Chains A and B, each alone.
Chain A
Amino acid sequence: MTAMTPAILWQRFAEAGLVQGEAPASGEAGSPWYVRVMLGVAAWIGALFLFGFVGVSFRFVIENASGALITGAVLCVAAWLVFSSLRHNDFTGQFGLAASLVGQVLFLYGLFRLFKTERAEVYLLMFAFEAALVVFLPNFLHRVWSTLAALAALAYALGSLGLPYLGTGVIAACFAIVWLHECRWAKPASVREPVGTGAALALAWCDVNILWREAMWPWMARDGQGLPTYATHLGTLLTACVFVYMAVRLLRREDVVLGSRVGIAALAGSVALMAAAWSAPGVTAALLIMLVGYASGNRFLLGLGLIALGGYLSYFYYQMHSTLLAKSAVLAETGAVLLVARAVMLSLFDTAAGKAVRRA
């Protein structure tokens, strides 16, 4: 596609009978992902100093739970006012983001002081608080962060309830639902896009993080009892179901009949992959991010999936729940299933396109 502009694109859509009338005025273009990452990191640095200012100037705020909770909430309301009234001002946008981050840290700190322990209630309250911020604070970066924080809090809450691995599955489901239905839910794009990005980051984070959190469960599990055996499999099962759901959605989108040879092979391949990678669920989650990223034309997700896979393999090496020999067998099985899946795929597509791919 050469030298395409929004006007030419609109004309092409009009010729295809998709749109009518004049092309809409082009709005403000979104920033590239790395500009957003730069702004997010800088906002966190700014927030650390603002937090230092609050800590030194208003010591009483962090000395009692209610002070921290109220100040935290007030700062978030202030951020909402800033975002709502000065939506297109870059400085106030960054200031609102940094102020809200300080507010969120204070709110979480207040919750921990109030409950005096890491109980599920604390994480559930944090989840509700962050979810409310996602809905009400109209700023892209803020919504990405709040989604990530909300889903992380939910994962920790499930962990505290004795279901540590379920968090990954729940986050995978949120991620897949948002991205695989983006055309249907195009209306609230200002919410959908950052929520989808936040869910992707949460999934990548949970993917790697679940391993070191494993060491914390004996301490976090109620009454010092071990986790029920089904608890470790629930999350993996849910992630596997989400993966198969994704395969079904994408096959339907590409007009592939599920009962056809290609449909059956794709579903059988997905199930075989889930079975092979059962003891390495991070591989499944990373693959989910990559496939959804490619399907929606989002290169950021594709790169994030690759990073999640690399991070997972590095942590998988040090994971203590099984021997390196067992982990080696899991990786070999998964690799072999992927190779067989490729061979089957190429044999099914004995078309000109398939032959071209084979030759490339």
Chain B
Amino acid sequence: MMPYRDTILAWAEQGRLTPDQTPTALRLAGVLPTPSQWLRFLDRLLLWLSTVLLAAAVIFFFAYNWQALGRYAKFALVEVPLVVAVLLAWRFGLERAAGKAALVAAALLVGALLALVGQTYQTGADTYELFTTWALAILPWVLVGQLAALWLFWIGLINLAMILYFHVFGRPLGSVIGTPQLLWWLFGLNTTVLALWETLARRGIAWLNERWALRVLATACVACITVLMVWVIVDSRHISMTPVYVYCVWIVVVYAVYRHYIRDLYVLANSLLSGIVVVTCLLSRVLFESLHADAGAFLLIGLVVIGLSAAGGWWLKTIAQEEQS
């Protein structure tokens, strides 16, 4: 939400601004976009949306596997747009939005091309190999693209390849064995990337300083470590305490970094919710399984969750107010 949007609307609600004056006030405060901001926004929106939709159209087309179309025609249909996209990226230059959009389109089309190769020649490759090859093939473009969204897409491909790899090889002893290992790998990968990204962003690489992308990564990290902790609590055969230690360290580091150093309330709120989930699971395990408690346990856990979230909400609001003042 834009700063002071709520304040101005609150003044309007108190009658200090009339309905006719409110838009002028919002515009004066920079809440409503100016014509030039509108132009810039629409330019970016139309450019990126059309890029995504056109690339999705190509992917949908090849997923259809149209038998009436010959092999060479199919390759031409994906290779020609790919070459055009690369040429456009070169023509516009990667410092311009149009050049970056063309590069993203090219990166997406490489996936369609690899899928077509697998479809046509029946290579017998596993799905994880497709995503790994895709990630490797577009790595040079990701490196030169200087675009947070493209990096995030690339990390998403690696995550997906890892998940698919474990789907094939990670479960020799049943589905239970593979999942914690996979979660450890995903947690390790995403946490390393998050730490590197934050460090480089703090060192002044402007295009990396995109909070939304860092928040997506932080969410992935919190999700992985939370599921691991829940796994430890729920699975009675689990005897390793490693996830507990890692979780505690993670929470302390998140608090120190995002409360005092970087100040990102989103990551703190995320971690707080993770803490509530973990406490809920722990209490459920202790009360229902170990103590065989009944209805009272439901009430107790419900009240604890409500109490923790209320206290957490109050704490986060206090920090938000501190930052505003």
**Residues of A that sit less than 8 Å from B by CB:** 1, 4, 6, 9, 12-13, 16, 18-19, 24, 26-27, 29-35, 37-39, 41-43, 45-50, 52-53, 56-57, 90-91, 93-95, 98, 182-184, 186-190, 193, 253-254, 283, 287, 290-291, 294-300, 303, 309, 313, 317, 323-325, 327-329, 331-332, 334-336, 338-339, 341-342, 345-346, 349, 353-354, 356-357, 359-360
A195 to B: closest C-beta gap in Å: 14
Q: Is the CB of A183 within 8 A of B50?
A: no
Known contacts A9-B7, A335-B54: A294-B309 contact under CB 8 Å: no
In the complex, chain A residues whose CB is within 8 Å of the CB of B316: 31-32, 35, 38
B170 to A: closest C-beta gap in Å: 25
B309 nearest CB neighbor, chain A only = A42
**Residues of B that sit less than 8 Å from A by CB:** 1-14, 16-17, 19, 21-26, 28-33, 35-36, 38-43, 45-47, 49-54, 56-58, 60-61, 63-64, 66, 96-97, 212, 265-266, 269-270, 272-273, 276-277, 280, 294-296, 298-299, 301-303, 305-314, 316-317, 320-321, 324
Q: Is the CB of A299 within 8 A of B1?
A: yes
Q: Is the CB of B310 within 8 A of A186?
A: no
Q: Is the CB of B313 within 8 A of A317?
A: no
Known contacts A290-B45, A328-B60: A95-B39 contact under CB 8 Å: no
Q: How far is the CA of A72 from the CA of B265 in the complex (A)?
A: 35
Q: Is the CB of B46 within 8 A of A46?
A: no
B308 nearest CB neighbor, chain A only = A42
In the complex, chain B residues whose CB is within 8 Å of the CB of A190: 13
Q: Is the CB of B320 within 8 A of A35?
A: yes
Q: Is the CB of A53 within 8 A of B1?
A: no
B49 nearest CB neighbor, chain A only = A338
Q: Is the CB of A9 within 8 A of B43?
A: no
B102 to A: closest C-beta gap in Å: 12
Q: Is the CB of B26 within 8 A of A335?
A: no
Q: Is the CB of A295 within 8 A of B33?
A: yes
In the complex, chain A residues whose CB is within 8 Å of the CB of B6: 29-30
Q: Is the CB of B310 within 8 A of A94?
A: yes
Q: Is the CB of A12 within 8 A of B31?
A: no
Q: Is the CB of B313 within 8 A of A328?
A: no
B320 nearest CB neighbor, chain A only = A32
Q: Is the contact region of chain A dominated by helix, strand, or loop, or is it mixed?
A: helix
Choose among B12, B41, B308 the residue that contacts A183 (Cβ–Cβ < 8 A): B12
A159 to B: closest C-beta gap in Å: 27
Q: Is the CB of A90 within 8 A of B42?
A: no
Q: Is the CB of B96 within 8 A of A334?
A: no
B41 nearest CB neighbor, chain A only = A294
Q: Is the CB of A342 within 8 A of B39?
A: no
Q: How far is the CA of A91 from the CA of B43 in the complex (A)?
A: 46
Q: List 26 A-B contacts (CB under 8 A).
A: A4-B4, A4-B29, A6-B4, A9-B4, A9-B29, A16-B24, A19-B21, A29-B317, A35-B313, A38-B313, A39-B309, A49-B298, A49-B302, A56-B298, A94-B313, A95-B306, A95-B310, A183-B12, A187-B13, A190-B13, A283-B53, A297-B32, A303-B212, A328-B64, A339-B47, A353-B36
Q: Is the CB of B43 within 8 A of A345?
A: yes
In the complex, chain B residues whose CB is within 8 Å of the CB of A357: 36, 39-40, 43
